[in-house]
Copies of this chain bind each other. A is one copy, B any other.
Amino acid sequence: MAALDYESINENVKKAQYAVRGELYLRASELQKEGKKIIFTNVGNPHALGQKPLTFPRQVVALCQAPFLLDDPNVGLIFPADAIARAKYYLGLTSGGLGAYSDSRGLPGIRKEVAEFIEKRDGYPSDPELIYLTDGASKGVMQILQTIIRGQGDGILVPVPQYPLYSAAITLFGGSLVPYYLEETANWGLDIQNLRESVAESRARGITVRAMVIINPGNPTGQCLSVANLKEILKFCNQEKLVLLGDEVYQQNVYQDERPFISARKVLMDMGPPISKEVQLVSFHTVSKGYWGECGQRGGYLEMTNIPPQTVDEIYKVASISLSPNVPGQIFMGVMVNPPKPGDISYDRFARESKGILGSLRKRAQIMTDGFNSCRNVVCNFTEGAMYSFPQVRLPPKAIEAAKKAGKVPDVFYCLRLLEATGISTVPGSGFGQKDGVFHLRTTILPAEEDMPAIMSSFKKFNDEFMEQYEDNRGYSRM
């Protein structure tokens, strides 16, 4: 048997699951090929659903890609002066422009911009030497998990429902996922008691929990963590000597005012010593989300707090095997953390574009939540932040039976039917994890605002017909 025969490849590769691009996505791609109109709400990919890129960063990166334009006498006709100045600034940070590998941690000048952004956001200084630029946040998460995981005895606490990057990466690296359940009836809040139980249970199974993941704002669940919650988490990590991985990629995506985003790092620093000097924290950010949505550019960073220098060096060494993160993505990160300021030529346009996107996302979050809640067998917490709705769909026993007959998990069955009927491509809740016997789906809030009412009524129509088909005692349950 040859080494790449299916039977003989790495079992961890086979076991890893990534539902966001799993069965539903593959079926949607097939249908699209056959000519069906598909609404890809399976993945947070704003530009694919029509969101326009912000103009200023694109101008800067275009000029960096084509530095000969900077000498062209006509360049001022089509690029504003501040974009030209910024492109020159970034090119000056490189040795050889976008075509040269940078330092494997990213360009020092951009890591400095990131540190200044963090300092301004949190009110505490940040060290550029502890900030590594990455090809998107996922790459950073994988680097850190690979550094932590030594084998099956190493457990990583992951919220359930979770973004399946975590389950997939933990499986790939041969570790053990230790779930902690978010409480749907408490707006996807986190219960520290539940955390303690998870750790104790896994210890009994011979698993040492070594790190804990939080996703704030939540994916797929959309909640924003409160300061009180973050404090409890940090204390817990300190007691248990856990590394906290703070997935904060949706920090710009907040759609209510009661619970603004607060970084785990700020809360930790606010708590003061000794804890602020003890908890090992790695935080992740990206250019793919926010009002940027520059997913295809693959720009991100990780920031390390209280990580010993020797380990920081090891992470550098492993990063260097991949040579360097892509340099255009680094420039996007620089502009994201250091956008045009009031008084700059491009400021008004930048502010108008970014406010337009965020304001519309806030409206879409509301339309979607309301739409789901208008179906009698669906309940959905409001999307406080991030880019997703994660409604619970109550499936009648006959539907569950039908799914079983079709050899499908019930929510996969429901989502496939939804896809075939409406072209809406979602991800079944089972791809994120959920409690036994309850079923969800995840959809992004990213379809264009003007399309949203039609999409929600198309969903409602499908759901009504689905229920009509599978519900017992129709007359009764409609009362």
Mask for A1-23, Cβ within 8 A of B = 1, else 0? 11111101111011011101110
- Per the bound structure, the CA–CA distance linking A21 and B323 in Å amounts to 8
Question: Within A58-90, which residues are at the interface with B (CB < 8 Å)?
Answer: 58-59, 61-63, 65-69, 72, 74-75, 77-78
| Smallest CB separation, A33 vs chain B (Å) | 10
Q: Does A371 contact B (CB under 8 A)?
A: no
Chain B neighbourhood of A410, CB < 8 A: none
Mask for A37-55, Cβ within 8 A of B = 1, else 0? 0000001011111110101
Query: By the criterion CB–CB under 8 Å, are B323 and A6 in contact?
Result: no
Closest-by-CB residue of B relative to A310 is B6
Interface centre among A2, A169, A326 (most CB of B within 10 A): A2
What class of interface size applies to chain A in its complex with B?
35 or more
Closest-by-CB residue of B relative to A10 is B150
- Out of B46, B66, B298, B308, which one reaches A58, CB within 8 Å? B66
A10-B149, A45-B101, A48-B100 are contacts. A135–B298 as well, Cβ < 8 Å? yes
Q: Does A346 contact B (CB under 8 A)?
A: no
Query: By the criterion CB–CB under 8 Å, are A9 and B147 in contact?
Result: yes
| Smallest CB separation, A260 vs chain B (Å) | 26
Closest-by-CB residue of B relative to A40 is B95
Query: By the criterion CB–CB under 8 Å, are A138 and B4 in contact?
Result: no
A9-B314, A43-B101, A321-B18 are contacts. A148–B297 as well, Cβ < 8 Å? no
Chain B neighbourhood of A1, CB < 8 A: 241
Closest-by-CB residue of B relative to A174 is B174
Query: By the criterion CB–CB under 8 Å, are B6 and A308 in contact?
Result: yes
- Per the bound structure, the CA–CA distance linking A36 and B305 in Å amounts to 32
Copies of this protein chain in the complex: 2
Query: By the criterion CB–CB under 8 Å, are B10 and A148 in contact?
Result: yes
- Per the bound structure, the CA–CA distance linking A314 and B18 in Å amounts to 11
Interface residues of chain A, those whose CB is within 8 Å of chain B, are 1-6, 8-11, 13-14, 16-18, 20-22, 29, 43, 45-51, 53, 55, 58-59, 61-63, 65-69, 72, 74-75, 77-78, 94-104, 135-136, 138-139, 142, 146-150, 154, 165, 168-169, 172, 210-211, 241-243, 280, 282, 288, 293-298, 307-308, 310-311, 314, 317-318, 320-329
- Out of B2, B72, B139, B296, which one reaches A322, CB within 8 Å? B139
| Smallest CB separation, A138 vs chain B (Å) | 5
- Per the bound structure, the CA–CA distance linking A259 and B308 in Å amounts to 51
Chain B neighbourhood of A49, CB < 8 A: 96
Query: By the criterion CB–CB under 8 Å, are B318 and A3 in contact?
Result: no
- Per the bound structure, the CA–CA distance linking A68 and B184 in Å amounts to 44
- Per the bound structure, the CA–CA distance linking A152 and B21 in Å amounts to 31
Query: By the criterion CB–CB under 8 Å, are A280 and B2 in contact?
Result: yes
Q: Would you mind naming 30 contact pairs between A and B with Cβ atoms under 8 Å apart?
A: A1-B241, A2-B280, A3-B242, A5-B308, A6-B314, A9-B311, A10-B149, A10-B150, A11-B150, A13-B146, A13-B317, A13-B318, A18-B317, A29-B103, A45-B96, A45-B100, A47-B97, A47-B100, A48-B100, A58-B68, A61-B65, A61-B66, A62-B66, A62-B69, A99-B294, A100-B295, A101-B295, A138-B321, A146-B172, A295-B324
Chain B neighbourhood of A104, CB < 8 A: 21
- Per the bound structure, the CA–CA distance linking A67 and B243 in Å amounts to 43
Chain B neighbourhood of A101, CB < 8 A: 43, 45, 48, 288, 295-296
| Smallest CB separation, A342 vs chain B (Å) | 23
